[in-house]
Amino acid sequence: MANPRNNESLVTLLIIDDNVGSLDLLSSALDQPGVRILTAQDPKRGLELVHSQHPQIVLTDLVMPHMSGLEVLDEIIQFDPSIDVVLMTAHYSTESAVDAIRRGAADYLDKPVNLQTLRTRVNALLEQARRRQRASQIESEVIDTSRFEGMVGNSPAMWDLFSRIRRVAPHFRTVLITGPTGTGKDLVARTLHRLSPAAKGNFVVLNCSAVVETLFESELFGHVKGAFTGAAADKIGLFEFANEGVLFLDEIGDMPMSTQAKLLRALQNQEIQRVGSLSPRKVNVRVVAATHQDLRTAIIEKRFREDLYYRLNMVEIHTPRLVERTGDLALLIHHYLTHFSKLYGKSINGLTARAEIVLARHTWPGNVRELENVVGHACMMATQSKIDVEDLPEHLLGHLEDTELIAEPTPHMEDLAPLEVQERRLIAEALAQSNGNQSQAARILKIGRDALRYKMKKFGLESPSGLGVTDEP
């Protein structure tokens, strides 16, 4: 058997099934150029192949003698969580699919497998595997491989988020998105809709913090003529408008307790009742809820129903803060520079060194939304081909006292090659994170202090009053 590392362009797919006929059928259906297919009739043998051959994708039956597909999944995730595992079963249920996804499965298919569906799902995983291979080989493709349904990120936190969205989208009935303000919870909700079976239906948004308490029930469920003063005609509610689609309840933590009870019944029974009507109406709606609040604390404080929380929280997706997305800052700045320079009809191709330092030092309490606002402001104000300090909003500059931020950049910086620009940016960010402590910055970069000092001198990052002046261990 060939070593997979002899040809890095190959994607290795392992199929585990105790039925020889299934192995032959699946192997034949998925055979294509650039894909090496391995098979194992025994799950223990399959795990041996996982350890020795490092496949990017594993397709395994759920019910097998001696070891179940879920046990195989657990072993693979423990060995290498980057491997995409697809489970197949003749006993499909939403509950078992959600359980498998929670445990790390990439997808969940019911038997007998529709070959076209199988090819579509597996081909998507194969393409992602190929993209990861290219990303590790060609640095210039980093931006392209870091886009996912309108979202941009190349950090471990974002790869985990993208993977979780892709796994959940085909199966969810309710999802809870949590995370601080400005982290893109609305983008996650829209992506779940686009990738779900309800993609052809409406995506309906209700901002719960913007609705008057007395109108909540009417907004969600509608009302009939004469139900209350001012109800001059029948009105359809958002649940009905979202039928066969997705209803996004943003800031669900601000929903009144009285409405929460009615929402819970609607989710449980998939039926609603217009205000003033005695006739229930059936609906088929997937619900995505989002909040920046700690709902567990809200439950303790009697501001949120515990039963509704568990109904919504069948699957939870957390959006990380910008400071948790190590390495994504430069990527997002590039993304927004491209967007806003095109929007404003300008030719802006980067930042000056001192502007980079200001952005690297900022803590971004408003997360990605704040970064988008800052870069948009800078692009609007810029008069040159590069964003400079004076183009940035004043709140980023008010606390700065370091003289190197107002000094001109070193003359040779404009002549750096693209890889050197990236290297300099990483060093500047490490020095900013360590408040100029060379030893700490060297540990962040995983290089020696002597190498760091050389690169600081090379890139003009030495300053008697700013970066790199301390050398404590």
Residue 282 in domain: yes
Same domain, residue pair 241 and 306: yes
pLDDT at 417: 55
Residue 464 maps to a domain: no
Same domain, 208 and 281: yes
Nearest residue to 178 via CA among 251, 91, 87: 251
Q: Residue 355 is part of a domain; what is its CATH number?
A: 1.10.8.60
Residue 179 sits in the same domain as residue 310: yes
- On whether both 176 and 310 belong to a single domain, the answer is yes
Residue numbers of the domain that contains 201: 170-318
On whether residue 154 sits in a domain, the answer given is: no
Number of domains in the chain: 3
Q: Verify that 178 and 292 share a domain, yes or no.
A: yes
Reported pTM: 0.62
Res 5: pLDDT: 40
**Angle value at C-alpha 360, between 355 and 418, nearest 5 degrees:** 70
- Reference 101, options 120, 82, 114, 86; nearest CA is 86
Asked if residue 152 belongs to a domain, the reply is no
Does residue 473 lie within any of the structural domains?
no
- Please tell me the distance from the alpha carbon of residue 295 to that of residue 314, in angstroms, as a whole number: 14
Assess whether 94 and 217 both reside in one domain: no
User: Residue 406: what residue type?
Assistant: I
- pLDDT averaged per 10 residues, the chain (length 473): 49 94 93 95 94 91 90 86 87 78 85 89 90 61 75 91 95 96 96 96 95 88 84 89 96 94 93 88 95 96 96 95 90 90 89 82 94 96 85 77 41 51 76 81 73 75 48 51
Let me know whether 327 and 275 are in one domain.
Answer: no
Ranges of beta strands (E only) in 47-152 are 57-61, 84-89, 107-110, 147-148, 151-152
In a domain, 148, yes or no: no
Q: How confident is the model at residue 265, as a pLDDT?
A: 93
Considering only CA atoms, which of 116, 113, 4, 136 is closest in space to residue 57?
Answer: 4
183 and 292 co-located in one domain:
yes
Last residue of a domain, one of 117, 137, 157: 137
79 and 205 in a single domain? The answer is no
Q: How far apart are CA 324 and CA 155, in angstroms?
A: 9
CATH number of the domain residue 13 falls in: 3.40.50.2300
318, 350, 378 — which closes off a domain? 318
Check residue 7 and give its pLDDT: 46
Task: Look up the CATH number of the domain holding residue 245.
Answer: 3.40.50.300
Q: Is 401 helix (H, G, I), strand (E, B) or coil?
A: coil
Residue 128 is predicted with a pLDDT of 86
Residue 61 lies in a domain: yes
Q: Is the same domain home to 314 and 239?
A: yes
Q: Are 304 and 342 within one domain?
A: no
> 473 in helix, strand or coil?
coil
Residue 144 lies in a domain: no
Same domain, 176 and 312: yes
Round to whole Å and give the CA distance between 231 and 208: 21
